[in-house]
Structure 1
Amino acid sequence: MAINLQKGQRISLEKSNGTKLQNICVGINWGAIEKKGLFGMSKTKEAVDLDGSCALFSEQKQLQEVVYFGNLRSQDGSIHHSGDDLTGDMNGNDGLDNEVITVDLSRLNPNVNYVAFVLNSFRGHDFGTIPFASIRIYEGTPSRVNEVFATYDIAGDTSFAGHTSMVMGVFYKKNGEWKFNAIGEPTRDRKLQETVDTVSRQYL
């Protein structure tokens, strides 16, 4: 497959050897905001709390469940959230994901037809003020990246400035086969529930 998708592109998740892809990860890496001190004093760091979440919908586009920092595991055990990172990298970019959501498509409840990933800035930090913040959606595990589908640089892309939430992408089932839609669009929402509602209205 070897694809790095741009916004709005869709792909099938069947691999070149004919096997179906099963294990998906969404990793988010970001840094704390560096504040310049008064009168040339030493700089301080302001913690940034970004929250990756996963919303599950039925074929009829009815919300089934949300996996987020307050619900780290889906009812069927197919989706796991690594836990809430409240600060971001305080000492520069360590290259590691601060939060990871893993999905085993083979274990998903058969009633689930859409798996949507969203990002919210919990304390309302503007994406444009964060020194670095990137997302990667890939096949593999939190410790092994096999193939990256999509990456978004939400700190460096000016289209995200002025926003505190976004829709990362949606996995959807069509004729029994899973496909992926790389959305990567900021929204005007402030809270997770609002962003989930936006997904159900606009992106399924």
Structure 2
Amino acid sequence: MAINLEKGQRINLAKADGRAVQTVCVGINWGAIEKKGLFGLTKTKEAVDLDASCALFDENKGLYDVVYFGNLRSKDNSVKHSGDDLTGDVGGDDGLDNEVITVDFSHLHPSINYVAFVLNSFRGQDFGSIPFASIRIYEGTPTHVTEVLAKYDIAHGAGFAGHVSMVMGVFYKKNNEWKFNAIGEPTKDKKLQETVNTVMAQYL
């Protein structure tokens, strides 16, 4: 049974039988913006290019690597990005992830203590105008879901209006076990590097 996460909630990465999860996928799903035409009679869809990225930090909170649409694999090969989605769900919510980042905790460099996920709006469309956006954490592959561990709605809420970047959440290692902190906070940043710096300064 998947957990519906709330902002600030922390969870252990464990299956129903208590076994630790070694590989997780973080999938992000979002919709295109619906625009009303003249007199509100016709509707058009405006493509939305959101970019999911993953930043890896060591135990001293130093940046180790960033995985994003321009760098699809971490240098230790433990984190992989499915590729850039430029439009979102133009035909309505299809229930499928637009971008998926896979993390293999068993192959992470031993010095890595934090794996942070951020979301940036490439064209500057603010989150308040996007009809839906959510993330889910699951076991499986980008094309096959074995077990959904947690779901998290990241679009709704007045606080997202006017923002084009956000910190989705951070996996962190404690007592050699990986846990997840659902942050879900918009930031004032415009670019990925700025958002990574914000994570380093505020969320580790």
Task: Report how far residue 184 of structure 1 moved.
Answer: 1.0
**Could you say what the CA RMSD is over the residues aligned between the two structures, in angstroms?**
1.8
Partner amino acid, structure 2, of 1:151: Y
Partner amino acid, structure 2, of 1:73: R
Q: In structure 2, what is the equivalent of residue 183 of structure 1? A: 183
Contact 1:6 1:150 in 2 (8 A): no
Q: In structure 1, what is the equivalent of residue 133 of structure 2? A: 133
Greater alpha carbon shift after TM alignment, 93-102 vs 40-49 = 40-49
Gaps of 5+ in 1: none
Structure 1 Cα separation of the partners of residues 101 and 202 of structure 2: 23
Task: Report how far residue 198 of structure 1 moved.
Answer: 0.5
Correspondence list, 1:163-202, <5 A:
163-202=163-202
- Residues 114 and 41 (structure 1), Cα distance of their counterparts in 2 relative to 1, 3 Å cut: same
Partner amino acid, structure 2, of 1:190: K
Contact 1:10 1:182 in 2 (8 A): yes
Contact 2:126 2:163 in 1 (8 A): yes
- Residues 83 and 191 (structure 1), Cα distance of their counterparts in 2 relative to 1, 3 Å cut: same
* TM-score (normalizing by structure 1): 0.92
Structure 2 Cα separation of the partners of residues 199 and 191 of structure 1: 13
Structure 2 Cα separation of the partners of residues 41 and 17 of structure 1: 53
Q: In structure 1, what is the equivalent of residue 47 of structure 2? A: 47
- Residues 141 and 38 (structure 1), Cα distance of their counterparts in 2 relative to 1, 3 Å cut: same
- Residues 131 and 15 (structure 1), Cα distance of their counterparts in 2 relative to 1, 3 Å cut: closer
Q: Secondary structure at the match of 1:197?
A: helix
Partner amino acid, structure 1, of 2:145: R
Gaps of 5+ in 2: none
Give the share of equivalent positions with the same residue, in percent: 73
Q: Following superposition, which runs of at least 4 residues in structure 1 exceed 6 angstroms of deviation?
A: none
Task: Report how far residue 40 of structure 1 moved.
Answer: 5.6
Residues 26-68 of structure 1: per-residue CA shift (max 9 Å, x gap)? 1111111122223566332211100000000000000010000
Contact 1:125 1:164 in 2 (8 A): yes
Partner amino acid, structure 2, of 1:93: D
Q: Secondary structure at the match of 1:189?
A: coil
* TM-score (normalizing by structure 2): 0.92
Q: In structure 2, what is the equivalent of residue 60 of structure 1? A: 60
Q: In structure 2, what is the equivalent of residue 75 of structure 1? A: 75
Number of matched residues? 203
Greater alpha carbon shift after TM alignment, 126-135 vs 98-107 = 126-135
Contact 1:4 1:148 in 2 (8 A): no
Q: Secondary structure at the match of 1:106?
A: helix
Task: Report how far residue 149 of structure 1 moved.
Answer: 2.2
